[in-house]
Amino acid sequence: MVADFQDTAPAAPDIEDTVRAVEATAVMGLLPGRPRLLALGEPTHGEDALLDLRNELFRQLVEQEGYVTVAIESDCLKGLAVDDHVTSGTGTLDEVVEHGISHGWGASAANRELVRWMRAHNDGRPASERLRFAGFDGPLEITGAASPRQALTALHGYLAARVDADLLPCTADTLDGLLGADERWSDPAAMRDPARSVGRSAEAGRLRLLAGELAALLDEQTPHLIGATPGEDWERACLYARTATGLLRYHYWTADPSPARLTRLAGVRDQMMAHNLLALAARGPVLVHAHNSHLQRGKSTMRMGGMPLEWWGAGALVSARLGAEYAFVATALGTIRHQGVDTPPPDSVEGMLYALPEDRCVVDARRLAAVLGDTPPPPRVSPWFGYAPLDPARLADSDGIVFVRDVPRR
């Protein structure tokens, strides 16, 4: 009897049972329903092959699942120009890609194609059915943070045109005098030397108080302002308020000389990202693309300046608020040979996926974790700082994995 049972029992699942073709239907098949915010991560930046795959998946998800916003890891204020272009044709494609996408990623052919496709998709559609674009990062670069001038003055201008002047905490001239030259805020030297930052100056302290008061006034006047202005103007005013207060917090911690400085900077950045994503999700279902570390549900970690950092990323913060309405699909890869990332070790998760015949596939992450058992395989170690391998112990924290076998030079 035992032999008969063994002969007829189903075979234990293996890794091949966890993979599907890279299609929107395969991604949605991993989820209980359409999440309000569906995030696709990437393990490295600047590879158009990965962005081409993103573009194709997002196109399918927009057309088949009705997503209404595409958000990428780019400056939220600069992204307004791209949104204007894709929704109404304002500006040329060259202009909005160059000036509306930050971090130097406007030069990417795949990002350009994303914007071109979104504009073509919207052509001839009524305003209520147009696909929206958003950057959800703060006005931040590796070399430094932007001046809060744009966000603060735009917020003040919006309120000054719509509420009684006596309610405003200051005049536009007061803000201008406190802000001073924008260059002193964006000084690249401040990222390495807190003493070079103006974030804890008397002027910055006063600006933090005024930004908080302007944001509070915007909130207090919500019934009047929503009724008196188009919804898009209201949304942008809220974005200006979030960005002004977030930037001033970021500058405050840039000036901090304590060991907590870099951790706090990473945390403030991701908090700004999370607030932007929650605001976008409030108006309809959103597709998001950024580095895996920003979108994962667990804590984010990295080494910077020789120090280990650990903080809650945007995905963790949004997931805590949205629950099942947030979904995260990580991207993993086998090789980036032009960056020195060669064939992964066969006992790593990437190595096991690399041994499959598919050039790319969608992987059921939780089922894969179950197949691998209670003792996860050793993590892959990247020889290149720009690529972050999967954490085998956190596979089940993802709803899925998109695996790309080889990333060619473009």
Give the tokens for residue 306: 């020789």
Count Cβ atoms within 10 A of the Cβ of residue 248 and give its class: 0-12 exposed, 13-18 middle, 19 or more buried. Answer: buried
User: Domain 145-259 has what CATH class?
Assistant: mainly alpha
Query: pTM value?
Result: 0.95
Token pair 């500058």 is found at: 251
Are the beta carbons of 265 and 238 closer than 8 angstroms? no
Which one, of 169, 177, 173, 105, lies nearest residue 142 by Cα? 105
Query: What tens-digit pLDDT sequence spans the chain (410 residues)?
Result: 334 434 443 444 588 889 999 999 999 999 999 999 999 999 999 999 999 999 999 999 999 999 999 999 999 999 999 999 999 999 999 999 999 999 999 999 999 999 999 999 999 999 999 999 999 999 999 889 999 999 999 999 999 999 999 999 999 999 999 999 999 999 999 999 999 999 999 999 999 999 999 999 999 999 999 998 888 999 999 999 999 999 999 999 999 999 999 999 999 999 999 999 999 999 999 999 999 999 999 999 988 777 899 999 999 999 999 999 999 999 999 999 999 999 999 999 999 999 999 999 999 999 999 999 989 899 999 999 999 999 999 999 999 999 999 999 87
Q: β-pairing, 19-20 with 360-363?
A: antiparallel
Domain boundaries, the chain: 145-259
Token pair 């997002």 is found at: 58
Give the tokens for residue 58: 């997002």
